[in-house]
């Protein structure tokens, strides 16, 4: 099955399900169903619309595809525009890997470290105000089917295995392998980050942006951090910054 004939892209308005006009409708339908089911409810409640390249989809066929999405909790919304003339869409296919040779350049371009530098207005606090969010410590690995939802930061002392999910309003830190589905900044924050010793997720989400790594993506031997910059999700080597005193 060619899974590239259906691509789910995230925008600030909702999801855009891009369909290839060069394939048979039955293949589109089958691939869409497989992709939605494999998300394990991750898109539930999200608004969506369809986009067909080079052609338009007959109303009756659009309805068939909508029914598949609605069965899994998605909500049709024809107001979502693609491509948007005044809004930059968030990527969903492949986050950008920042090369080792460019990481210092990236850091100087306002790459935010996981531990934020102290605010000048907090001379003795040691951390910024945003870091006063509560933190949940998960002292074990997460197995398939296990979910963690928390209104703050989440730190996992173990692995996040395929089939497990983490949703946090703040940052997510995995001191192990991240191979599941994670959503940082679930309250809409685009400043949140995701860090792991080995970053090889099924899907990453920061605020409204949804992304997944390409298939057969090599795993870095070093810790990595995912973040948003100008609406684009970047993955780069994790570098610590000393705190201001």
The pLDDT of residue 172 is 96
Are 173 and 52 in the same domain? no
Euclidean distance between CA atoms 112 and 117, whole angstroms: 9
Euclidean distance between CA atoms 88 and 18, whole angstroms: 16
Strand partners, 205: 183, 210
pLDDT in tens, 228-239: 887 788 888 876
The pLDDT of residue 60 is 87
Are 55 and 103 in the same domain? no
The answer as to whether 20 is a domain residue is: yes
Are 151 and 216 in the same domain? yes
3-state DSSP call for residue 48? strand
Q: Work out the pLDDT band at 3, boundaries 50, 70, 90.
A: low
Are 48 and 156 in the same domain? no
Are 43 and 158 in the same domain? no
The answer as to whether 46 is a domain residue is: yes
Looking at every residue in the chain, the average pLDDT score rounds to: 75
pLDDT in tens, 41-75: 777 788 888 888 666 778 888 889 999 999 888 88
Boundaries of domain holding 12: 3-76
The answer as to whether 90 is a domain residue is: no
The average pLDDT across 130-145 equals: 84
Domain boundary among 17, 42, 76: 76
The answer as to whether 186 is a domain residue is: yes
Q: Work out the pLDDT band at 218, boundaries 50, 70, 90.
A: low
**Predicted model pTM:** 0.49
Domain boundary among 76, 104, 127: 76
Are 51 and 106 in the same domain? no
The answer as to whether 32 is a domain residue is: yes
Are 16 and 114 in the same domain? no
pLDDT in tens, 85-100: 333 333 444 444 444 4
Are 158 and 233 in the same domain? yes
The answer as to whether 141 is a domain residue is: yes
Is the separation of the CB atoms in 193 and 186 below 8 Å? Answer: no
Are 125 and 192 in the same domain? yes
CATH assignment at residue 103: 2.160.20.70
The answer as to whether 22 is a domain residue is: yes
CATH assignment at residue 67: 3.30.750.50
The average pLDDT across 97-119 equals: 38
Of residues 117 and 81, more confidently modeled: 81
pLDDT in tens, 205-216: 999 888 876 665
Are 111 and 72 in the same domain? no
The answer as to whether 181 is a domain residue is: yes
Q: Work out the pLDDT band at 165, boundaries 50, 70, 90.
A: very high
3-state DSSP call for residue 18? strand
Total domain count, the chain: 2
Euclidean distance between CA atoms 28 and 122, whole angstroms: 55
Residue 113 reports pLDDT greater than 90: no
Verify cis geometry, omega within 30 degrees of 0, for the bond prior to 83: yes
pLDDT in tens, 26-40: 998 999 998 888 877
Are 223 and 192 in the same domain? yes
Are 41 and 111 in the same domain? no
């Amino acid at each position: 099955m060619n899974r590239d004939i259906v691509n789910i892209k995230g925008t600030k308005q909702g999801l855009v399900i891009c369909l290839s006009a060069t394939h048979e409708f039955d293949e589109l339908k089958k691939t869409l169903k497989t992709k939605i089911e494999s998300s394990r409810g991750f898109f539930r409640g999200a608004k969506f619309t369809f986009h067909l390249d080079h052609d338009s989809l007959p109303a009756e066929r659009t309805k068939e595809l909508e029914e598949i999405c609605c069965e899994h909790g998605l909500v049709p919304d024809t107001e979502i525009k693609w491509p948007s003339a005044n809004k930059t869409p968030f990527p969903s296919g492949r986050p950008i890997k920042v090369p080792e040779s460019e990481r210092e350049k990236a850091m100087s371009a306002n790459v935010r470290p996981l531990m934020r530098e102290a605010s000048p207005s907090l001379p003795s606090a040691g951390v910024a105000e945003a870091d006063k969010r509560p933190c949940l410590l998960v002292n074990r690995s997460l197995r398939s089917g296990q979910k963690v939802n928390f209104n703050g930061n989440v730190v996992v002392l173990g692995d996040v295995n395929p089939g497990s999910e983490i949703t946090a309003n703040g940052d997510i830190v995995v001191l192990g392998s991240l191979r599941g589905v994670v959503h940082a900044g679930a309250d809409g924050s685009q400043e949140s980050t995701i860090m792991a010793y080995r970053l090889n997720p099924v899907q990453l989400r920061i605020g409204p942006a949804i992304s997944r790594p390409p298939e057969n993506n090599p795993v870095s031997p070093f810790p990595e951090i995912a973040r948003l910059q100008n609406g684009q999700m970047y993955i780069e080597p994790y570098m610590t910054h000393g705190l201001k005193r």
